[in-house]
Amino acid sequence: MKLEHFALNVQHPLEVARWYVENMGMTIVKATDTEPYMHFIADSSGDVMMEVYCNPPDQVPDYGSMNPLLLHLAFVSDDPASDSVRLQNAGATLVDEKQLADGSHLIMMRDPWGLALQLCKRGNPMLRNKW
C-alpha cells in the first residue's frame, strides 16, 4: 500500500493551504469553498499530500502548545539555513536547530498557526527519489 494523504484539523484551512503553497512549494490538488474548507495539497513530488480542513471547529488541536516531537511536518531542504530565514520572513518561528554527527542539518520551526515543521538536510538521504 501507498500513503495517499494525512489530514490536519486546523482553525483557518484557507490561509494554511495558501501559506504552504506560497512558502513550501506545495500545490492545491482539490479544494472546497464551503465548510469545512477541505484542501488537499501535494508536495513538489506530487507523491505526498496533506489535507487541511476545519471539522469540527471546536476540536482543532492546540498545535502551538504541543511538543514538536509529538507532531511535526518534515520537509527536505537543500539549504535549511536559508529556508529558515525565508520562512521566518513569511511568519514562521524558529524552535531549534541541530547539526548531527552523520552530517544531517535539522531545523525545527512553527508555521504561523503553531504547527511544527522541520527542515531536513540528511547526511544520508532516506528517500529513494529526490523531490
Angle ∠(27,83,28) on CA atoms, nearest 5: 5
Closest by CA to 74, choosing from 12, 129, 127, is 127
The CATH number of 1-58 is which of 3.40.50.300, 3.10.180.10, 3.40.50.720, 1.10.10.10? Answer: 3.10.180.10
Spatial CA neighbour of 9 closest among 58, 43, 67, 70:
58
pLDDT in tens, 62-110: 999 999 999 999 999 999 999 999 999 999 999 999 999 999 999 999 9
Calculate the average pLDDT of the chain.
95
pLDDT given at position 130: 54
Intrachain domains 1-58 and 61-125 with the same fold: yes
Look at residue 41 and tell me whether its pLDDT is greater than 80.
Answer: yes
Report residue 129's pLDDT band, with 50, 70 and 90 as the boundaries.
low
Higher local confidence (pLDDT), 50 or 126: 50
- CB atoms closer than 10 angstroms to residue 17: 23
State residue 12's pLDDT score: 97
Domain boundaries, the chain: 1-58, 61-125
> What homologous superfamily is domain 61-125 in, according to CATH?
2,3-Dihydroxybiphenyl 1,2-Dioxygenase, domain 1 (3.10.180.10)
Q: What is the pTM of this model?
A: 0.93
